[in-house]
C-alpha cells in the first residue's frame, strides 16, 4: 500500500512580502524521484529528427552513422533518461516497416500532420535505437493504433526484441542487427481521441485491450505498456481518464502499466510570441504552467479511486510551452525560440512532478530539438547549434535524478500583476545516492529578489555551493550569434549558519544548491 501524501510538499502558505520560509525534513524522505520524470520526446515533426538529430552519414556536420555528434554530446550531459519516438500525431500514421532496410529502397510518405512534407524514412527503428544507445537512454516507442494493425504492432515488438529464430528476428538480422534491442516502454497510440483516430474513450479502451493482448513480451524485459491519455487542455479530459481506468481492468489487474496525460502551456492567448513579450505575458505563461498541478491532482484523484494501490502510473508524455512559430518559418514545423521564461516554466513543472513522484512514472518534454519547448536549436542550412535556457534548467535539475525526495514545508510570498498572482518561490529538495542534499529554488518574481530562510531538519551541513540561471531581461534567450547569454553561473548568495540556510534569490531565477 503506498502512502499517498507522505512525500508531498505541504500546501503553500502565501505571504505578501519578500520573506519566504522553508523547512526541509531531511530525515523523512520516502519516495524516489525517478530520472524518467526528466524524459524527452522527439517526433518526425519539422526539424526535430531531420536536421536536429539526423543529418545522414554523408553530411559535413560531424556525425556517427548519420546522427549529429554535437547533439548527442549535449543530451548525454543532461543524463537524458528516455526518449519517446516517433510521435505524437505522427505515430498513428507511421508504418515501421517503411523505415527498415537499405535507405534507398525505403518508401516515402507524406507527413500530413506536420507541414505536408515528404518523409523519406531514412530515420527508422535502427537509427532511433542507435541514437538511444549513443545517448545511453531508454527508448520509449509509441506504436500506431490509429491507422495500423494489431499484427503490425506485434511484429514491431518481435522485430526489435526477440532473441530467437522467427520471421521478424531474422529480418532484423538481415538488416544488420544480430542482437535484439532492449525496449521496455511502449505506447499504444497517441491522442487517439483526436489525431490518433477521433475515438471515443469507450472505443479506444476496447481497442487498447485488443492491441495489448498481442503486445507480448518477446524479449527478456517485460513491456511497460502505456495507454493513450487525455489532454488536460481539452474538454472531457477527466472522462477519458475515468473510462480508461474503469474499462482497462481485467479481473483484478489493469491492462496498462501507465496512463498518459498531456498538458501544454499556451497561456490565455494561443500562439503568443516566444520572445519580445512583457510582464503580463510572463505572469500569464507561468500561472498557466502552474496549472499542471491542478490537472495532475484531478486525474490522479480519478486514478486513485479506481486503483488505490497505485498499480498504474501516470505518464505525462507531452508537456511544455507552445507559442507562435518564429517569423518566416513553416507554421507546421512548430519552431519557436526559448527564453529565460521557459527555464522557469520547466523548473516549476519539475517541482510539481517531483511532488507527485510517488505516482508519476515518466514525463516527456515536447520536444527535444527545434520543436516547441526545445533543449537544442540547430541552424537551418548551417552547422551551428545552441543550448536553450530550458536545456540549462534540465541540466541543473539533473541532481534530482533517482534521488530521494525530501519533504519540505514552504511558506512563500506572492506577487501579482492585475488579477494574476504567483507564489514567488518554488523548490525541490532531495538526497542523492552519495548522501548529498540538493535544493533547487525558483524565484518567479520578474523584478524583485526574494529572501529565503531555510531550516534544515534531520541533517547537518557545513558548506553550500550553488549555481544560478538568470538574465537581465524576461525574454533573454540564446542565439547562434550569442549562444551563452543565458547560462548557469556560480552563485554566492547562499550562506549557512548552524542549521539555517539563508538564500538571497535574485529576481527571475533558478538556483541549484548542493549542501555538504
Task: Provide the grid cell at 501.
Answer: 540556510
Report in angstroms how near the CB of residue 334 gets to ligand AHR at its nearest.
6
Q: Which residues pair with 423 in a beta bridge?
A: 414
Task: Report in angstroms the alpha-carbon separations of 222 from 170, 217, 342, 451.
Answer: 21, 5, 36, 48
Rounded Cα distance, 484 and 465, in Å: 22
- Chain mean position to CA 212: 24
Rounded Cα distance, 70 and 370, in Å: 14
Annotation says 191 is catalytic:
yes
Nearer to ligand AHR, 324 or 461 (CB): 324
Nearer to ligand AHR, 211 or 322 (CB): 322
Annotation says 318 is catalytic:
yes
Task: Provide the grid cell at 377.
Answer: 536549436
Q: Which residues pair with 15 in a beta bridge?
A: 413
CA dihedral 174→177→180→185, nearest 10 degrees, is: -110
Nearest to residue 45, comparing CAs of 322, 346, 320, 330? Answer: 330
Backbone angles phi, psi at 253, to 5 degrees: -125, 150
Q: Which residues pair with 500 in a beta bridge?
A: 455, 497
Report in angstroms how near the CB of residue 91 gets to ligand AHR at its nearest.
8
- Which of the following is catalytic: 93, 191, 207, 242? 191
Nearer to ligand AHR, 362 or 513 (CB): 362
Report in angstroms how near the CB of residue 142 gets to ligand AHR at its nearest.
9
Residues lying near ligand AHR in the complex (CB under 6 A): 43, 87-89, 190-191, 318, 366-367, 372
- Which of the following is catalytic: 93, 119, 207, 318? 318
Nearer to ligand AHR, 94 or 277 (CB): 94
Report in angstroms how near the CB of residue 495 gets to ligand AHR at its nearest.
43
Report in angstroms how near the CB of residue 159 gets to ligand AHR at its nearest.
24
Nearer to ligand AHR, 29 or 88 (CB): 88
Cα end-to-end span (Å), the chain: 34
Rounded Cα distance, 48 and 113, in Å: 14
Task: Report in angstroms the alpha-carbon separations of 182 from 42, 144, 224, 401.
Answer: 19, 19, 12, 21
Q: Residues with Cβ < 8 Å from 60, sequence gap 6 or more?
A: 383
Torsion sign (Cα): 128, 210, 184, 31: positive
Tally helices (H) and strands (E) across the chain. 9, 30
Contact 399, 430 (CB under 8 A): yes
Report in angstroms how near the CB of residue 113 gets to ligand AHR at its nearest.
7
Grid cell 521496455 is found at: 184
Nearer to ligand AHR, 89 or 316 (CB): 89
Task: Provide the grid cell at 395.
Answer: 541540466
Report in angstroms how near the CB of residue 95 gets to ligand AHR at its nearest.
17
Task: Provide the grid cell at 162.
Answer: 526477440
Cis peptide before 26 (omega within 30 of 0): no
Report in angstroms how near the CB of residue 209 gets to ligand AHR at its nearest.
22
Q: Residues with Cβ < 8 Å from 462, sequence gap 6 or more?
A: 496, 516
Rounded Cα distance, 315 and 328, in Å: 35
Nearest to residue 146, comparing CAs of 108, 83, 99, 193? Answer: 193
Determine how many CB atoms are found less than 10 A away from the CB of residue 151: 9
Determine how many CB atoms are found less than 10 A away from the CB of residue 103: 16
Report in angstroms how near the CB of residue 239 gets to ligand AHR at its nearest.
18
Rg (CA), the chain: 23
Nearer to ligand AHR, 388 or 412 (CB): 388
What residue is closest to ligand AHR based on CB? 88
Nearer to ligand AHR, 318 or 342 (CB): 318
Report in angstroms how near the CB of residue 89 gets to ligand AHR at its nearest.
4
Nearer to ligand AHR, 367 or 428 (CB): 367
Nearer to ligand AHR, 321 or 367 (CB): 367
Catalytic residues: 191, 318
Amino acid at each position: 500500500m503506498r502512502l499517498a501524501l507522505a512525500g508531498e510538499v505541504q500546501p503553500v502558505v502565501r505571504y505578501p512580502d519578500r520573506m519566504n520560509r522553508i523547512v526541509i525534513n531531511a530525515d523523512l524522505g520516502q519516495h524516489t524521484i525517478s530520472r524518467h520524470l526528466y524524459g524527452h520526446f522527439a517526433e518526425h515533426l519539422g526539424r526535430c529528427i531531420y536536421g536536429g538529430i539526423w543529418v545522414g552519414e554523408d553530411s559535413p556536420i560531424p556525425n556517427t552513422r548519420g546522427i549529429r555528434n554535437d547533439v548527442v554530446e549535449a543530451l548525454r550531459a543532461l543524463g537524458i533518461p528516455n526518449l519517446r519516438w516517433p510521435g505524437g500525431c505522427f505515430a498513428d500514421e507511421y508504418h515501421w516497416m517503411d523505415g527498415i532496410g537499405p535507405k534507398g529502397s525505403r518508401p516515402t510518405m507524406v507527413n500530413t500532420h506536420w507541414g505536408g512534407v515528404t518523409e523519406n524514412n531514412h530515420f527508422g527503428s535502427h537509427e532511433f535505437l542507435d541514437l538511444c544507445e549513443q545517448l545511453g537512454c531508454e527508448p520509449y516507442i509509441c506504436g500506431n493504433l490509429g491507422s495500423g494493425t494489431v499484427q503490425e504492432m506485434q511484429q514491431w515488438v518481435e522485430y526489435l526484441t526477440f532473441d530467437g529464430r522467427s520471421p521478424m528476428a531474422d529480418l532484423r538480422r538481415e538488416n544488420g542487427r544480430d542482437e535484439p534491442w532492449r525496449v521496455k516502454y511502449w505506447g499504444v497510440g497517441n491522442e487517439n481521441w483526436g489525431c490518433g483516430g477521433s475515438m471515443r474513450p469507450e472505443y479506444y479502451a476496447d481497442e487498447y485491450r485488443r492491441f495489448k493482448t498481442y503486445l507480448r513480451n518477446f524479449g527478456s524485459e517485460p513491456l511497460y505498456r502505456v495507454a493513450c491519455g487525455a489532454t488536460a487542455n481539452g474538454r472531457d479530459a477527466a472522462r477519458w481518464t475515468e473510462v480508461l481506468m474503469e474499462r482497462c481492468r481485467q479481473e483484478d489487474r489493469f491492462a496498462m502499466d501507465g496512463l498518459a496525460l498531456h498538458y501544454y502551456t499556451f497561456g490565455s492567448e494561443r500562439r503568443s510570441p516566444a520572445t519580445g513579450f512583457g510582464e503580463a505575458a510572463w505572469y500569464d505563461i507561468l500561472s498557466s504552467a502552474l496549472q499542471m498541478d491542478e490537472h495532475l491532482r484531478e486525474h490522479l484523484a480519478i486514478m486513485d479511486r479506481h486503483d488505490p494501490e497505485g498499480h498504474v502510473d501516470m505518464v505525462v508524455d507531452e508537456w511544455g510551452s507552445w507559442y507562435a512559430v518564429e517569423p518566416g518559418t513553416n507554421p507546421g514545423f512548430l519552431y519557436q525560440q526559448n527564453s529565460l521564461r521557459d527555464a522557469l516554466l520547466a523548473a516549476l513543472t519539475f517541482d510539481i512532478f517531483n511532488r507527485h513522484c510517488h505516482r508519476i512514472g515518466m514525463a516527456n518534454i515536447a520536444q527535444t530539438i527545434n520543436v516547441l519547448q526545445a533543449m537544442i536549436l540547430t541552424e537551418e542550412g548551417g552547422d551551428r547549434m545552441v543550448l536553450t535556457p530550458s536545456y540549462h534548467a534540465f541540466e541543473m535539475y539533473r541532481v534530482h535524478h533517482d534521488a530521494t525526495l525530501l519533504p519540505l514545508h514552504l511558506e512563500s510570498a506572492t506577487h501579482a500583476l492585475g488579477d494574476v498572482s504567483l507564489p514567488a518561490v518554488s523548490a525541490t529538495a532531495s538526497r542523492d545516492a552519495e548522501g548529498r542534499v540538493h535544493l533547487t529554488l525558483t524565484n518567479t518574481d520578474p523584478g524583485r529578489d526574494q529572501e529565503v530562510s531555510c531550516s534544515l531538519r534531520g541533517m547537518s551541513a557545513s558548506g553550500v555551493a550553488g549555481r544560478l540561471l538568470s538574465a537581465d531581461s524576461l525574454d533573454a534567450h540564446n542565439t547562434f550569434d550569442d549562444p551563452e547569454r543565458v547560462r548557469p553561473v556560480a552563485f554566492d548568495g547562499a550562506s549557512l549558519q548552524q542549521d539555517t540556510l539563508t538564500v538571497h534569490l535574485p529576481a527571475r531565477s533558478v538556483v541549484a544548491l548542493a549542501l555538504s
